[in-house]
């Protein structure tokens, strides 16, 4: 039963939205929802009469209207005891299910237009209607649509799109370009309803339209909208100057490099409490004094203080350079010498928690590469298939080739089997992919490994512990540290210093049977991930 004690078909038959209103049935004279004067039970009985009539030809069996007035009784039957399978449709391939495959579109290029009439007036919002077109039996008459379908086919072959994705993109392109002529443009805001209707990715179709040079991307910038909501509660002059500073940080200038969007977002977020407090007392940034800045910084410590001081110095330095303020109130703030933490080796219990949480093939590969090869999370996500040489047992991480141990070799083979089974047609060159990146060429995002968050031994912490273990095994030699992991000299010195502090506090914390030097592979005695002998 679907709802109200009825199956899905009967439930839908009773909905007024379907046009089946309640009335007296012409066949059984009951008061039921009707379709052309007959209830659902009479329609079923008419279907039985039609199927058992030996004089009905093939054409007559496609309609049931002649058999509805002939109903004199109802056949008793028990629900859900029949599994009717209709005859196969014509045109099917022998030995295969479904319709025949669509042929590849003919090669096409940009149509040559002898004359282009530019539009005299803006037509306003355009309503694109869904069109039905069978690409198996005919080719589109519009050369622009033929070109778009050819580009979509090549993109689908290069990126391994699933059939459902191909069909959705073809439907949207057909609706957009069925009546396209030379000189017309397509605005992204006008075609957005089509994507919601067909559940097609907005980016894929816009990429094809941009390649055809017919797209006008008028979508609002999400970051600008976010900045507008954050500065809405500030004083008007302060909000204007802060917005200009954020745009300068994002887009750069003559002597300033553009910053990443995440950097601009973090710096504005950490300054919002101070800016909100100043907006209640001041109308402009030039009224902020050094005491006000010191009051904001004095109550902060650690990483939070470092981020706030960096953002304040950036804001007021830019304001001083552009002439918005007369004196920089953050000029005398100093970050001080940064204290380098002394890392402690991970315990066996902390590592076991991470190993137990790594239940997926990609999580096991992340843990193995970080704990054995000391790879960063970003380096693991950007690994390519060509970086793994399975026959020669070699792997290249961050441009540095190294031998592939037995444990990592087995984990990589397990992941490759899972990848081949899950996404057999993907063309993504990266070693690690997911459901989203399998349809294009990008690497997975940094939030992909969700089941390792909150653990003491994260991917980054496993990498630090691996390099620290190597420094302890080599008695704090920075040259060997740089040679093994290919890190910068300052990084090698920092790990060597960390190891010397641990060795000085515990003279017995030297290389042992549980911390072998890197030249030999790390053995594994279990069937899966096991650090019992590592």
SS (H, E, C) 206-233: HHHHHHCCCEECCCCCHHHHHHHHHCCC
Range of 239's domain?
A: 223-321
Q: Give the C-alpha distances (Å, rounded to integers) separating 424 from 2, 33, 80, 160.
A: 36, 48, 37, 8
Residue at a domain's end among 321, 336, 367: 321
Instruction: Name the band, by pLDDT with cuts 50, 70 and 90, for residue 298.
Output: confident
Give the position of tokens 């599994």: 83
Longest Cα pair distance anywhere in the chain, in angstroms?
102
Domain limit, last residue, from 35, 50, 70: 70
Q: Does residue 238 have a pLDDT over 60?
A: yes
Residues 208 and 227 both lie in one domain: no
pLDDT digits (tens, 9 = 90+) for 380-392: 999 999 999 999 9
Looking at the fold, whether 312 and 403 belong to one and the same domain comes out as no
The DSSP bridge pattern shows strands 186-187 and 215-216 to be parallel
Q: Which is more confident, 113 or 157?
A: 157
Question: Is residue 359 located within the same domain as residue 493?
Answer: yes
- Place 264 in a pLDDT band, splitting at 50, 70 and 90: very high
Based on the domain organization, do 484 and 357 belong to the same domain? yes
For residues 390 and 403, the answer to whether their CB atoms sit within 8 Å is no
Evaluate whether residue 116 is within a structural domain: no
Instruction: Indicate the pLDDT class of residue 32, thresholds 50, 70 and 90.
Output: confident
- pLDDT of 89 higher than 70: no
Lowest-pLDDT range, 130-139, 194-203, 211-220? 130-139
Assigned domain for 237 exists = yes
Same domain assignment for residues 384 and 498: yes
The H-or-E segment that residue 389 falls in is strand 388-389
**Cβ–Cβ < 8 Å for 56, 70:** no
d(C-alpha 67, C-alpha 60), whole Å: 10
What is the torsional sign of CA 426, 430, 432, 436? negative
- Give me 493's structure tokens: 């010195």
- Look-up: residue for tokens 């339209």? 209
Tell whether 66 and 162 lie within a shared domain: no
| CA distance readout (Å), 214 to 141, 159, 395 | 19, 23, 44
Let me know whether 281 and 227 are in one domain.
yes
417 within some domain: yes
Check residue 527 and give its pLDDT: 38
The mean of the pLDDT values for the chain is: 82
pLDDT (tens digit per residue) in 316-370: 999 999 999 898 998 888 877 777 788 889 999 999 988 888 888 999 999 999 9
Query: Edge to edge, what strands does the sheet with 394-397 contain?
Result: 388-389, 394-397, 400-403
User: Residue 382's pLDDT is what?
Assistant: 92
Q: What is the mean pLDDT of residues 292-298?
A: 89
CATH number of the CATH domain containing 444? 1.10.443.10
pLDDT score of 51:
80
Question: Do 304 and 424 fall into the same domain?
Answer: no
Counting the structural domains of the chain, the total is 4
230/202 same-domain check? no
| Residue 523: predicted pLDDT | 40
Give the DSSP H/E element, type plus range, for residue 294: helix 290-298
pLDDT of residue 415: 94
Q: Do 199 and 231 belong together in one domain?
A: no
């Amino acid at each position: 039963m679907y709802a109200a004690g009825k199956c899905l078909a009967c439930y839908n038959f009773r909905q007024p939205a379907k046009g089946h209103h309640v009335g007296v049935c012409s066949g059984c004279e009951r008061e039921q929802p009707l379709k052309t004067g007959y209830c659902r039970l009479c329609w079923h009985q008419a279907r039985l009469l039609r199927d058992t009539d030996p004089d009905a030809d093939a054409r007559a069996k496609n309609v049931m209207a002649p058999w509805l007035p002939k109903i004199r009784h109802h056949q008793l039957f028990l629900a859900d005891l029949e599994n009717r399978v209709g005859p196969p449709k014509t045109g099917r391939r022998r030995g295969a299910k479904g319709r025949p495959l669509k042929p590849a579109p003919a090669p096409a290029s940009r149509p040559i237009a002898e004359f282009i009439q530019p539009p005299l007036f803006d037509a306003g919002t355009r309503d694109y209607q869904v069109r039905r077109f069978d690409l198996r039996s005919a080719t589109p008459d519009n050369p622009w649509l033929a070109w778009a379908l050819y580009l979509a086919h090549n993109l689908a072959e290069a990126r391994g799109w699933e059939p459902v994705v191909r069909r959705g993109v073809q439907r949207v392109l057909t609706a957009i370009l069925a009546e396209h002529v030379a000189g017309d443009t397509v605005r992204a805001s006008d075609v957005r309803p089509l994507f919601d209707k067909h559940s097609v990715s907005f980016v894929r179709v816009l990429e094809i339209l941009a390649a055809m040079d017919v797209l006008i991307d008028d979508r609002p910038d999400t970051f600008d909208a976010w900045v507008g909501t954050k500065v809405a509660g500030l004083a008007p002059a302060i909000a204007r100057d802060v917005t200009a500073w954020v745009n300068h940080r994002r887009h750069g200038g003559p002597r300033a490099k553009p910053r990443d969007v995440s950097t601009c977002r973090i710096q504005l977020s950490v300054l919002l409490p101070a800016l909100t407090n100043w907006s209640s007392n001041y109308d402009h940034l030039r009224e902020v004094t050094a005491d006000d800045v010191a009051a904001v910084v004095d109550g902060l410590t650690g990483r939070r203080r470092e981020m706030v001081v960096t953002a304040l110095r950036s804001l007021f330095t830019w304001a001083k350079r552009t002439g918005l303020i007369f004196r920089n109130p953050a000029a005398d703030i100093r970050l001080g010498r940064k204290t380098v933490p002394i890392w402690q080796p991970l315990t066996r219990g902390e590592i076991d928690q991470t190993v137990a949480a790594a239940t997926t093939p990609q999580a096991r590969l992340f843990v193995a590469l970080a704990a054995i090869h000391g790879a960063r999370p970003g380096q693991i996500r950007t690994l390519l298939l060509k970086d793994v040489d399975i026959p020669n047992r070699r792997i290249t991480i961050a441009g540095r080739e190294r031998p592939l141990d037995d444990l990592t070799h087995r984990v990589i083979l397990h992941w490759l089997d899972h990848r081949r089974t899950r996404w057999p047609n993907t063309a993504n060159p990266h070693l690690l992919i997911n459901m989203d990146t399998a349809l294009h060429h990008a690497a997975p995002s940094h939030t992909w490994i969700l089941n390792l968050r909150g653990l003491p031994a994260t991917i980054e912490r496993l990498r630090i512990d691996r390099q620290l273990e190597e420094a302890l095994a080599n008695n704090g030699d920075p040259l060997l540290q740089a040679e093994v992991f290919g890190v910068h000299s300052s990084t090698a010195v920092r790990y060597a210093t960390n190891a010397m502090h641990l060795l000085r506090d515990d003279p017995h914390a030297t290389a042992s049977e549980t911390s072998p030097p890197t030249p030999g592979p790390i053995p594994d005695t279990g069937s899966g991930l096991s650090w019992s002998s590592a």
